[in-house]
């Protein structure tokens, strides 16, 4: 039995939003309800990315929504966050696709690219005509990307790239990959200062993308491994303003911020489903399970955590709009909100009993998705260390 | 063509409603949305403009919160908006709402005025019709399709039992639009941004006060329907149950 999502707002959170912010949220919500909800369980079962939604999402302005110019909508950070919330209310995989396209590919081109790179890629990516992926993680370097082995060697007017990238969202459907590699002036294996970003068209000889199969998570999004063997690119494909590990981390900050909103969407979907279910599911004395204290405790916990998460990320968003946000603020929002969403998914699964394990309801899918979300863009524990570093001044990595 | 579209903000269709203290209307703390037929009226106006050029203007009467429906109309492509802004507009009957609209647009020259067929809250289906009369224009209701013809328009009306009626009429005219006649567009994010710079004229209650009078229609009481029906289980052997059932059908419900 499909339960229609009714929105979640316990403390009149909506009154903290402007008319435009609500309109953006409602538009994204309606789009997802009309276009993604009817097909998502099928996509998840089949492990299929709903590519047919790329164009409609582009038409609405979802790609690069917070960038200015190049056909982008120039949304505020709060508006952008509300879009990712609604996307992830639908599915974390589809939200991941949008995050990668926007925050991890369009953003670095926008922030570190030359005018020519911006003109070539941004309008086409905004329209969804070109798709992108972001290659930072390697088989042996996840949380510690500074140790990466991928190398870019200058050869005349070209760079020659060699290396392996792993767990790359949209890898095999991308037209362009933002590849992070060390240049030959790297002093030693742990020197992150020589890391630069390169735009690699995926049809270049020596570039191969292979999908990772057998995922239990983010099944509606493509995840690939990339192999670069003597891939030659013009020197003009270097992102000129990228320099050092802080460049990819700046991209991750954009994406993590969107994830902090997105996780709320997944949590809302689970909570609302569990609430509705608990009101009609009857056990013992023909009474709904919602009338039992143990069930109410779970519902009360979830709505409290969702509400706190909303307030946290809204404040971080407002700081970001005022250009006052610090990376540790975003770490706190990502860490807290994904954790709370995963806990909500597990509790909601519990409330649905056996029905919670089938894909007639969205909960298990969200739960499985959130396991990836907890790990990518800085694991939960890595964000703990970032917050710890920020309050103590001591690096504990 | 210059088209005015009347858009109303109404309580969300599946929002749980609470009655106000005097039991004459619902409480304000509810979620609102665009009246459904009005959304189709706006969409139709935008499509007419795309085909024939011109201008689309959205108008609403209601408190500050009602501005949201105008923002949405502007974001979807309306060129400008008029907001009759006052909490007092909520309680007007259809006659007064139409009189307020007529007063607010007295200096404008529209070719067409669209309203939704009816509002999802009051359900009068009167505002458009009365507005036509006040303007001295022809009107047609329950419109399914609009085509421009020489010197006017040809419209398709929905009648009962699957019948349609085709009507030719001159311009200017008022049309009340049926839900579902087109596919609604989404407001794009760019559209929402651009809407900020589109003109929105505000009209106070005082400005149109002289045009309106006392309500001729008033809601006396609103209440949640009392449950009067009760399920009764007949018990006993199948034979006894059948006997009791026949007795009830014959003597209580009198269908046998
Ligand atoms: C579905 C999916 C999509 C992804 N998409 C992309 C993408 O598009 N682009 C991209 O570049 N990457 C992507 N990733 C990779 C992701 O960013 C990494 O998985 C993540 O950074 C963690 O790295 P790892 O998996 O190697 O784990 P590891 O770094 O090996 O961590 C394993 C565990 O050890 C802990 N740990 C590590 N170091 C420390 C420490 N110093 N102190 C305490 N604990 C520590 C971690 O918290 C974690 O619990 C994706 C991953 C997934 C699952």
- ipTM score assigned to the predicted complex: 0.88
Query: Which three-class secondary structure state does DSSP give residue B212?
Result: coil
* Residue contact A31–B186, C-beta within 8 A: yes
d(CA A117, CA A233): 13
Q: Mean pLDDT, 10 residues at a time, over chain B (256 residues)? A: 97 86 87 95 98 97 95 97 95 95 96 96 94 98 95 94 95 97 96 95 96 91 84 91 93 86
State CA A208 to chain mean position distance.
24
- Tell me, what's the pLDDT at A189? 67
Distance, CA of A169 to CA of A149 (rounded, Å): 20
Check residue A80 and give its pLDDT: 97
pLDDT value, residue A154: 94
∠ Cα A367 A370 A375 (to 5°): 140
* Number of domains into which chain B is organized: 1
pLDDT score, position A180: 97
Catalytic residue among A41, A164, A343, A377: A377
Task: Measure CA A271 to chain center.
Answer: 21
pLDDT value at residue A186:
64
Count CA atoms closer than 13 A to B227's CA, side-chain side. Answer: 2
Establish if A6 touches chain B: CB-CB under 8 angstroms: yes
Residue B34: predicted pLDDT? 96
Are B199 and B78 in contact by the 8 Å Cβ rule? The answer is: no
Average pLDDT over residues A144-170: 97
3-state DSSP call for residue A53? helix
Contacts 24+ apart (CB under 8 A), B169-172: B169/B138, B169/B140, B170/B138, B171/B1, B171/B111, B171/B112, B172/B110, B172/B111, B172/B112, B172/B113, B172/B135, B172/B137
> What is the DSSP code (8-state) at residue B26?
B
pLDDT at A190 over 80: no
Domain holding B103, by residue range, is: 2-211
Arithmetic mean of pLDDT, A272-301: 97
DSSP state of B178: P
B125 Cα to the center of ligand 1, angstroms: 60
Which CATH number goes with the domain that contains B192? 3.40.50.620
pLDDT at A153: 96
Within a domain: B239:
no
Residue from A157, A201, A168, A200 nearest A181 by CA: A200
For the residues A148-157, what does the mean pLDDT come to?
96
In a domain, B157, yes or no: yes
Region A352-367: what's the mean pLDDT? 97
Considering only CB atoms, A24 lies closest to which of B14, B31, B189, namely B189
Q: Give the side-chain half-sphere CA count within 13 A for A39.
A: 15
Report long-range pairs for B162-170 (Cβ below 8 Å, ≥24 apart): B167/B140, B169/B138, B169/B140, B170/B138
Q: Going by CA atoms, what residue is nearest to atom 25 of ligand 1? A: A142
- Pick the closest to residue A76 from A19, A12, A133, A8 (CA basis): A19
Q: Ligand 1, atom 35: nearest CA belongs to which residue? A: A381
Task: Please indicate whether residue A377 is annotated as part of the active site.
Answer: yes
d(CA A370, CA B256): 62
Bond from prior residue into B172 cis (ω within 30 degrees of 0): yes
Q: State how far residue B27 is from chain A, nearest Cα, in angstroms.
A: 15
The closest CB to that of A27, out of B14, B186, B193, belongs to B186
Chain B nearest C-alpha distance from A95 (Å) = 17
Of the residues A14, A58, A61, the best mutation for testing chain B's interface (the one with the most B CB atoms within 10 Å of its CB) is A61
Owner of token pair 């709370």: A340
Q: Across the interface, do B192 and A31 touch by the CB < 8 Å criterion? A: no
Residue B244 lies in a domain: no
Q: Is residue B165 part of a domain?
A: yes
pLDDT at A24 over 90: yes
The answer as to whether B16 is a domain residue is yes
List ligand 1's pocket residues with C-beta within 6 A. Answer: A 100, 134-137, 142-143, 167-169, 218, 223, 372, 375-377, 379, 381-382, 385, 397
Q: From CA B155, how far away is CA A346, in angstroms rounded?
A: 55
As given in the structure block, the two tokens for residue A63 are 């790609």
Mean pLDDT (chain A, rounded): 96
**Is B32 part of a structural domain of the chain?**
yes
Residues of A in contact with B193 (CB under 8 A): 20, 73-75
Report if residue B168 sits inside a domain: yes
Measure Cα distances from A197 to A112, A194, A257, B127 in Å.
Answer: 8, 10, 21, 61
B140, part of any domain: yes
Question: Residue B188: its chain A contacts at CB < 8 A?
Answer: 59-61, 73
Say what the pTM is.
0.91
Residue B231's pLDDT is what?
84
pLDDT of residue B239: 95
Say what the pLDDT of residue B191 is: 96
């Amino acid at each position: 039995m499909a339960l229609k999502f009714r929105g979640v707002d316990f403390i009149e959170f909506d009154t903290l939003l402007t008319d435009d912010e609500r309109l953006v949220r409602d538009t994204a919500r309606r789009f997802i309800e009309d276009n993604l909800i009817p097909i998502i369980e099928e996509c998840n079962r089949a492990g299929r990315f709903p590519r047919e939604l790329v164009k409609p999402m582009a038409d609405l302005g979802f790609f690069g929504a917070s960038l200015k110019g190049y056909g982008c909508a120039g949304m505020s950070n709060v508006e952008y966050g509300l879009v990712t919330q609604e996307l992830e209310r639908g599915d974390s995989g589809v939200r991941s696709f949008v995050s990668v396209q926007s925050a991890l590919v369009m953003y670095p081109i926008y922030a570190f690219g030359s005018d020519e790179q911006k003109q070539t890629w941004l309008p086409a990516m905004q329209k969804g005509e070109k798709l992108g992926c972001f290659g930072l993680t390697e088989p042996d370097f996840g949380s510690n990307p500074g140790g990466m082995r991928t190398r870019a060697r200058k050869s005349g007017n070209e760079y020659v790239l060699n290396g392996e990238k792993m767990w790359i969202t949209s890898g095999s459907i991308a037209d362009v990959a933002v590849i992070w590699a060390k240049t030959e002036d790297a002093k030693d294996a742990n020197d992150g200062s020589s890391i630069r970003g390169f735009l690699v068209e995926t049809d270049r000889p020596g570039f191969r993308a292979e999908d990772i199969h057998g995922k239990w998570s983010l099944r509606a999004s493509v995840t690939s491994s990339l192999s670069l063997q003597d891939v030659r690119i013009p020197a003009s494909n270097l992102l000129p303003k990228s320099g050092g590990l802080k460049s990819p981390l700046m991209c991750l900050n954009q994406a993590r911020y969107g994830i902090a909103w997105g996780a709320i969407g997944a949590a809302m979907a689970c909570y609302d489903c569990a609430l509705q279910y608990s009101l009609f599911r009857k056990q013992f004395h023909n009474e709904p399970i919602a009338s039992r204290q143990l069930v109410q405790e779970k519902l009360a916990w979830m709505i409290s955590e969702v509400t706190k998460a909303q307030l946290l990320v809204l404040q971080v968003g407002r700081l970001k709009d005022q250009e006052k946000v610090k990376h540790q603020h975003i770490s706190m929002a990502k860490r807290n909100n994904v954790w709370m969403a995963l806990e909500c998914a597990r509790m909601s699964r519990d409330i649905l009993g056996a029905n919670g394990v089938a894909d007639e309801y969205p909960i298990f899918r969200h739960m499985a998705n959130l396991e990836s979300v907890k790990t990518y863009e800085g694991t939960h524990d890595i964000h703990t260390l970032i917050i710890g570093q920020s309050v103590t001044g001591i690096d504990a990595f | 063509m210059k088209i005015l579209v009347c858009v109303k903000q109404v309580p969300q269709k599946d929002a749980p409603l609470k009655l106000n203290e005097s039991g004459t209307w619902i409480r304000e703390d509810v979620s609102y949305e665009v009246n459904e037929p009005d959304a189709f009226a706006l969409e139709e106006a935008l499509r007419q403009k795309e085909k024939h050029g011109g201008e689309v203007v959205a108008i609403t009467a209601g408190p500050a919160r009602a501005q949201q429906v105008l923002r949405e109309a502007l974001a979807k492509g309306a060129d400008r908006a008029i907001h009759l802004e006052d909490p007092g507009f909520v309680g007007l009957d259809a006659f007064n709402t139409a009189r307020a609209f007529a007063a607010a647009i007295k200096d404008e020259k529209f070719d067409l005025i669209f309203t939704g067929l009816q509002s999802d809250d009051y359900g009068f289906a009167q505002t458009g019709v009365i507005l036509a009369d006040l303007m001295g224009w022809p009107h047609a209701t329950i419109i399914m399709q609009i085509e421009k013809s020489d010197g006017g328009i040809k419209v398709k009306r929905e009648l009962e039992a699957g019948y349609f009626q085709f009507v030719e009429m001159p311009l200017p005219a008022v049309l009340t639009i049926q839900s579902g006649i087109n596919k609604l567009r989404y407001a794009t994010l760019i559209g929402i941004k651009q809407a900020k710079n589109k003109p929105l004229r505000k009209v106070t209650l005082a400005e149109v006060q002289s045009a309106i009078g006392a309500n001729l229609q008033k809601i006396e009481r609103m209440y949640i329907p009392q449950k009067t029906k009760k399920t009764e289980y007949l018990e006993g052997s199948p034979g006894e149950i059948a006997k009791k059932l026949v007795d009830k059908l014959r003597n209580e419900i009198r269908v046998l």
